[in-house]
Copies of this chain bind each other. A is one copy, B any other.
Amino acid sequence: MTVLQDRDARREVLLAAADRVVQRDGASASMAAIAAEAGITKPILYRHFGDKSGLYAALAERHTDSLLDALVDALTGGGTPRERVHRTIDTYLATIEQQPQVYRFLVQSEEAASAHGQVRGFLRRLQELLAAGIAHELALEAEDLRSFVWAAGIVGMVQSAGERWLEVQDCSRDALAGLLTDLLWGAYGSSAD
């Protein structure tokens, strides 16, 4: 059954090419450009991924898997809860700092895919993961609303602050992670009281 191996191997090659194009062209990478980079033509791309959102999903999964692993490690490692949260946020920020183009592509693919079909994208998986982590950390029941709401909120918080930071770069990564950790520990609320 070398045909299946060939298919998978080819798929990897195509994804690698897509990766390169995204890294070069940013989020506006077109299917034709990706096909050209891979040295093939569009219909082949469509036969493999069906759809642009299909390629989005495959590419997202690829990057998301490694990032999620790193985040789980950071979150479940040693130290106080606060140290672990700080470390986890820093891990996230490090990723988007090193690969901003890919990161932007993933976030946009999230929007594009969620609007059209039912593809679990980048941020969505992050939220699910974090919700499970929060439920475990706080010993909540699995269906507790708080874990879902807070996970969505925290992901949005880090994402939004991270995006701003990518543009203006007005402090060190560690300082930003610290400020966000402070915010999660009620630095704003308790200051305002």
Residues of A within 8 A of B (CB): 27-28, 80-82, 85, 108, 111, 115, 123, 127, 134, 137-138, 145-146, 148-150, 152-161, 163-165, 170-171, 175-176, 179-193
Contact = CB atoms under 8 A, between A and B. Distances in A.
Contacts of A160: 123, 152-153, 155-157, 159-160
A interface, by DSSP: helix, strand, loop or mixed? helix
A162 to B, nearest CB: 9
Number of copies: 2
A192 B111 contact: no
A127 B186 contact: no
A184 B175 CA distance: 19
Contacts of A179: 145-146, 149-150
* Most chain B CB neighbours (cut-off 10 Å) among A123, A149, A170, A192: A149
- Ranked nearest first, the 3 interchain pairs of A and B with the lowest CB-CB distance are A186-B186, A156-B160, A185-B189
A152 B164 contact: yes
Contacts of A149: 161, 164-165, 171, 176, 179-180, 183
A150 to B, nearest CB: 5
